[in-house]
């Protein structure tokens, strides 16, 4: 829990110091043609790990850096010997000037994946690679001709996590979830042939049989455990997230948007959507927004009731417009 605005600013500044180190290292060689926030998820993971473990040594941090990059980039990440330890040393040195004592609840971009050993992590990564081959070969949105081969990365991770968590899933249920995942990400651009998802599910289940995973991956759909009853509900969620993100980032109750990552409030936005989907009243939504931000930022969140009411009205208006459309 962050105790003061000073600590919040330190956390953000630590992130930027780590960003300079990671971008300079550029382990996937992307900086020449990608935006400077390309490694944002990895940097946030490392930042939160360092903030949570102030006495971490370069060997352990190096191992975690390797895990984070292998998690996000799989076989595209091939590092030189001991490079992660060298990077870890630079990060630890930079972090010494910060006196952080907060606990940041998550890293790996909101996934708390615990691997028992490196072998289990390799299995997890290899499962991703096999599913990637199947999905890219299928190419449901017809993108492979002109897009990079990781175009379906989020969808593949969603399917992989679902398979890892449900080892006895059948082709019918997995097929339904594959359809939901692609509809979640591509909305009306996704129009599949009849039963195609079931066929794809069969291939994935067959490939996954040789992997003996015993870890629990807590979430999917790009790190969320969201179960939609139907496609309309899924569309509502997607559009709600986009609109509420605009409202919250514009409001910026902690006044950090000019110095922090664009998805800094993503946790709070998802919590707000969760409350909206319970058919909450506008009065109770205002109270829940207050609780959500206070739980995240403790005494740093100091917003007048009238301001919360105005934000709640905007959110409620967007919810009504989207749910009725």
pLDDT tens across the length of the chain (325 residues): 566 778 888 888 898 999 999 999 999 888 888 878 788 878 888 988 888 888 889 999 998 899 888 877 776 788 888 899 999 999 999 999 987 765 554 444 434 444 556 677 777 778 888 999 999 999 999 988 888 787 888 788 888 888 887 878 899 999 988 998 888 778 777 888 888 999 999 999 999 988 876 655 544 444 344 555 666 776 777 788 889 999 999 999 999 888 887 777 887 988 898 899 888 999 999 999 999 998 888 778 889 999 999 999 999 999 999 888 7
Residue 81 CB burial class (10 angstroms; 0-12, 13-18, ≥19): exposed
CB 162 within 8 A of CB 225: no
Any domain includes 11: yes
CB 231 within 8 A of CB 211: no
Residue 122: its pLDDT value, please? 75
Same domain, yes or no: 24 and 91: yes
Q: How many CA atoms lie within 13 A of 231 on its CB side?
A: 12
Of 202, 203, 120, the closest CA to residue 164 belongs to 120
Any domain includes 299: yes
Any domain includes 315: yes
Distance from C-alpha of 223 to C-alpha of 45, rounded to nearest angstrom: 13
Of 159, 177, 208, the residue at which a domain comes to its end is 208
Residue 318: its pLDDT value, please? 93
Any domain includes 14: yes
Same domain, yes or no: 13 and 89: yes
Same domain, yes or no: 154 and 192: yes
| Residue range(s) defining the domain that contains residue 138 | 118-208
Same domain, yes or no: 125 and 192: yes
Q: H or E stretch including 149? A: none
Residue 317: its pLDDT value, please? 94
Distance from C-alpha of 286 to C-alpha of 305, rounded to nearest angstrom: 8
Overall number of domains in the chain: 3
Any domain includes 107: no
Same domain, yes or no: 186 and 270: no
pTM for the structure as a whole: 0.56
Any domain includes 298: yes
Same domain, yes or no: 60 and 144: no
Any domain includes 245: yes
Same domain, yes or no: 124 and 159: yes
Of 208, 240, 257, the residue at which a domain comes to its end is 208
Cα radius of gyration rounded to whole Å, the chain: 21
CB 169 within 8 A of CB 162: yes
Any domain includes 266: yes
Q: Which two tokens stand for residue 68?
A: 């984070």
Of 60, 95, 130, the residue at which a domain comes to its end is 95
């Amino acid at each position: 829990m962050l105790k003061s605005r000073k600590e919040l600013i330190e956390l953000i500044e630590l992130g930027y110091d780590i960003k300079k180190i990671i971008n300079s290292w550029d382990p996937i060689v992307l900086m020449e043609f990608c935006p400077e926030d390309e490694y944002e998820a990895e940097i946030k993971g490392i930042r939160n790990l360092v903030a949570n473990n102030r006495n971490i040594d370069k060997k352990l941090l190096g191992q975690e850096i390797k895990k984070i990059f292998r998690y996000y980039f799989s076989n595209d990440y091939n590092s030189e010997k001991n490079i992660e330890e060298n990077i870890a040393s630079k990060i630890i040195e930079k972090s010494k000037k910060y006196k952080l004592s907060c606990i940041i609840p998550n890293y790996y971009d909101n996934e708390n994946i615990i691997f028992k050993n490196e072998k289990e992590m390799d299995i997890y990564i290899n499962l991703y690679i096999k599913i990637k081959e199947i999905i890219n070969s299928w190419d449901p949105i017809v993108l492979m001709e002109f897009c990079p081969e990781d175009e379906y990365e989020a969808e593949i991770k969603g399917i992989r996590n679902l398979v890892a968590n449900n080892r006895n899933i059948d082709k019918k249920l997995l097929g339904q979830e594959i359809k939901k995942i692609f509809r979640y990400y591509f909305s009306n651009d996704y129009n599949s042939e009849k039963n195609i998802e079931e066929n794809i599910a069969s291939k994935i289940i067959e490939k996954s049989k040789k992997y003996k995973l015993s870890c629990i991956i807590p979430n999917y759909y790009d790190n969320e455990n969201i179960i939609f009853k139907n496609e309309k509900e899924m569309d509502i969620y997607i559009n709600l997230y986009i609109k509420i993100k605009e409202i919250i980032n514009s409001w910026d109750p902690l006044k950090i948007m000019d110095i922090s990552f664009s998805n800094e409030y993503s946790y709070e936005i998802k919590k707000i959507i969760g409350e909206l989907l319970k058919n909450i009243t506008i009065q109770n939504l205002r109270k829940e927004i207050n609780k959500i931000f206070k739980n995240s930022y403790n005494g740093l969140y100091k917003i007048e009731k009238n301001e919360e009411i105005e934000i709640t009205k905007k959110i409620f208006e967007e919810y009504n417009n989207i749910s009725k459309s």
